[in-house]
Structure 1
Amino acid sequence: MFALTSDFSNTVNLVTDKLIAWVEQFVIMLPNLVVAILLLIVTVFAARLVQRLATRFLPRVSHSVTINSLIATLVYVVVLLFGLFFVLSVLNLDKTVTSLLAGVGIIGLALGFAFQDIAANFISGIIIAIQRPFNVGDMIKTNDYFGIIERIRLRTVDLRQPTGELVLVPNRKVFENALINYSVNTMRRVDLDCGVGYDSDLEQVREVVLEAVQQVPHLVRERAPEVMFTEFADSAITFQLRFWIPYKRQVDYVSAKSAAIMSIKKAFDEAGINIPFPIRTLHVPGGVALPIALQKEEVDADKNE
C-alpha cells in the first residue's frame, strides 16, 4: 500500500513539475509569441498589398491576363513564405524551418513525378501566354478540333466548336501539335468542286461560273476568282472554283459556299449546261439476259390477262 502511494505521489510530482516548466517556458516565450503573431498579421497584409500593386502595375508591361494573374499570385505566396520563416525564427524554431525546406523539396520532387502531365500543361500554358500564337475569339483548328477560343487557361484552351460543344484542349497538346489560326488573316479562300457533262463547252463553263460567282455577297474583288479543271471523271469533267471572302466566323465561309452553289446552279440551268448524275453501265451475259427477258414477257402477259 505504501509503494502504491509513493508511486502515485511521484507521478503527480512529475506531472506538476512538467506543467510548471511549460508555464515558465510559455511566460519566457510570451513576448516572442506576441511579436510572432504581430509579424504574421503584418505579413498577410503586406502580401495582399504587394499582390494588389502587382495586379495594377503588370498590365502596363504585359497584356496577358493569365500571366499577370499568375505573377501576382506567385508574389503573394512568396511574401507569405518569407513572413512565415521569420515568424518561425522569432519563435526559435530554426530547425523547424530547415525541416520544412527539406520536406518541401522532397514533396515537390514526388509531386513532380506524380503530376508531370499537369506540370507540362501548366508550363505549356505559360509559354502560350507569353508567345500569344492566338487570342480569345480567334478561330483555330488543333488536334482535330475546330472552333472559337472562349478562354485561355494555364491548363487548357477552351474551344467552342461550330456545333456548340465546348472542348477543353490540354495546353501541352496545343503547344506540341500543329495549329491553324484562321483569324490571323482577315480573308479565307473558298474551294468549291463541281462537274459538267462531257458534251459541255469548257470555255463557256468557265465564263458562266466566273460570272455567277460575282453574285456571292462580300466577295473580295482584289483577289480574282479562279476556275481550274481538275479531272476526267467517270461521268463528268470536274473543276474547282476558288474565290476569297472576308472571314471572321465560320458562318461567313459556309454562307459564301452556299451562295456560290445556288448561283452556279441557276446560271447552269439558264445556259443549258448539264451537271450529270453518276452513270453506271451494267453488262449482262447473253445466257443470263434470255431468262430475264422471258420472265419479263410472262409478267407482262399476266398483267394483260
Structure 2
Amino acid sequence: MQDFDFQESIKGIWDKLGGWLDSLILGLPNFLLAIVVFVLFIFIAKYIGRLFERITRKHIKQDSIRLMVVKVIKAIVILIGFFIALGLLNLDKVLTSVLAGAGVVGLAIGLALQGTLNNTFSGLILSFLPELQIGDWVETNGYAGTVTEINLRNIVVKQSDNNYVVIPNSKIVEEPFKNFTRTARSRVFVDCGVGYESDLEMVRDLTLEVIKDKFPQRGNEEVEFLYNGFGDSSINFVVRFWIDATNNRDLQVAQHEAIIAIKKAYDGKGVNIPFPIRTINFSNKLDLNKNG
C-alpha cells in the first residue's frame, strides 16, 4: 500500500514536471522574444540618454540636474521595455499587479516627500529657465548675490559679503526675482537738491553736461534731469542715465562717481547743496530783575 502511494506520488511529480516542460517549450519563443525586447530597450535607453545629454548640454549648465534628467529618461524607457516583455509572456495579471503596486508606492512616496518633490520639480524648471543661470547676479527672497550653484533641491547665492545663502528652488519659482546680468545696460538714479536761491535752469544744464561727459549714452539713450519737489531746505531733483551694469555693484559705483562729479561741478560754479538747518528764536527774554 505504501509502495503504491509512493509510486503515485512519483508519477504525479513527473507529470507536473512534464507539464512544466511542455509549457516551457511552448513558451520558449515568447520568453526569448521578451528577453530580446528587454535587452533592446536597454540599448535604446542608453542611446536616448546620450542623445538627450548632447541636446541639453547647451541649455542645462548644471551637471547634477542634467545627469539626473538623463537617468530618469533612461529609467522610463527601460520600464516601458519591461512592461512590453511581461505582455509578451502573457503575464497580464503580473503586469496589472506591478502597476497597481507601483501606483500605491508612488502615492505614498509622493505624500511623504511632498516638499522635496516640489523643490525637485522646481529645480527642473529652473534648469530650463534662461532668465536664471550660474554666474548671474540676482535679488530674490531678500537676498542678493551671484548664483554659484543650481541643483535639484536649491540654488546657492554668494552675497557681496562673501557669505553663501541656500534658497530652496520652490521659493525661486514662486517668488519674483531680479536678474541684473540678463541686461547689459541699466539705468542709474541719483537724487539731489539745490538751494532756493539757485538758478534752476543753470543747475539743470550743468548737471546734464557733467553726467553726459562722465557717462556717454548710446543710441536712443539720454540723460534725464527732472525737478521733483520743494523740500524743507532745497529744491529736489533726480538725474537718470544709462551705464553698463551686470550686478548691483556696478550701479553703486556709477552713483558714487556721479555724486563726486556733480559735487565738484557745483563747487566750481558756487551752487549750494543745502542741508537742513534748525533756527531757534530767543525773542522772548526773561527779565530776572523784575519783581514777582
Gap change, CA 1:290 and 1:238, over 3 Å in 2 = farther
Cα offset, 1:125, TM superposition: 2.2
- Equivalent in 55, 58, 62 of residue 63 of structure 1: 58
Matched, 1:54 2:49: yes
Q: With the length of structure 2 as denominator, give the TM-score of the two structures.
A: 0.70
- Alignment correspondent of 1:279: 277
Deviation at 1:47, TM superposition (A): 5.0
1:124 aligned to 2:122? Answer: yes
Conserved 8 A contact 1:227-1:239: yes
Query: What SS does the aligned partner of 2:128 have?
Result: helix
Q: Does 1:170 align with 2:165?
A: no
Note the residue ranges of structure 2 that are not aligned, 5 or more in a row.
Answer: 1-12, 21-33
8 Å Cα contact 1:189-1:244 kept in structure 2: yes
Q: Following TM superposition, by how much is the alpha carbon of 1:275 offset from its aligned partner in structure 2, in angstroms?
A: 1.0
1:79 Cα deviation after fit: 5.7
- 1:148 alignment partner AA: T
Query: Aligned AA for 1:55?
Result: R
Instruction: Label 1:60 to 1:82 Cα distance change in 2 as closer, same or farther (>3 A).
Output: closer
Q: How far apart are the structure 2 equivalents of 1:50 and 1:100?
A: 21
Change (3 A) 1:111 1:50: closer
Task: Tell me how far 1:145 sits from its aligned partner.
Answer: 2.2
Indicate conservation of the 8 Å contact 2:150/2:156, yes or no. Answer: yes
Indicate if the aligned counterparts of 1:55 and 1:68 stay in contact, CA closer than 8 A: no
* Partner residue in 2 for 1:133: 131
- 2:111 equivalent in structure 1: 113
How far apart, in 2, do the equivalents of 1:226 and 1:78 lie? Answer: 58
2:180, 2:247 within 8 Å by CA — same for their partners in 1? no
1:192 offset after TM fit, Å? 0.4
Give the drift of 1:202: 0.8
Deviation at 1:164, TM superposition (A): 2.2
CA contact (8 A) 2:131 2:182 kept: no
Q: Which residue of 2 aligns with 1:142?
A: 140
CA distance change for structure 1 residues 145 and 280 in 2, over 3 Å: closer, same or farther? same
Match of 1:190? 188
One-letter amino acid of the counterpart of residue 118, structure 1: T
What do residues 4-41 of structure 1 show as CA deviations (whole Å, max 9, x unaligned)?
Answer: xxxxxxxxxxxxxxxxx9xxx9xx9xxxxxxxxxx99x
| Corresponding residue of 2:217 | 220
Q: CA RMSD in A?
A: 4.0
Between the two proteins, what is the percent identity of the paired residues?
35
- Provide the C-alpha distance between the structure 2 equivalents of 1:245 and 1:269, rounded to a whole number of angstroms: 25
Of 168, 177, 180, 1:179 maps to: 177
Q: Aligned equivalents of 1:151 and 1:283: distance in 2?
A: 62
Among residues 237, 240, 255, which one is paired with 2:238 in the alignment?
A: 240
CA contact (8 A) 1:47 1:77 kept: no
Match of 1:209 among 203, 207, 210: 207
Supply the AA of the counterpart residue of 2:54. P
2:41/2:81 contact within 8 Å kept? no
1:94-119 Cα deviation digits (max 9, x unpaired): 98877665444323212222221221
For the Cα contact (< 8 Å) 2:49–2:71, is it kept in 1? no
Which whole-Å CA distance do the structure 2 matches of 1:120 and 1:61 have between them? 22
**Any idea what SS the aligned residue of 2:277 has?**
coil
How far off its partner does 1:283 sit? Answer: 4.8
Amino acid at match of 1:220: Q
Cα gap change, 1:282 to 1:227, in 2 (>3 Å): same
Deviation at 1:55, TM superposition (A): 2.9
Q: How many pairs align?
A: 259
Structure 1 distance, partners of 2:68, 2:176, is: 26
Q: Please, which of 254, 277, 287 is the counterpart of residue 252 of structure 2?
A: 254
Aligned residue type for 1:106: V
Which residue in 2 is equivalent to 1:229?
227
Higher relative contact order (CA 8 A, sep 6+): 2
Q: Is the 8 A contact 1:141 1:179 kept in 2?
A: yes
Moved more, 75-84 or 105-114: 75-84
- The one-letter code of the counterpart of 1:178 is P
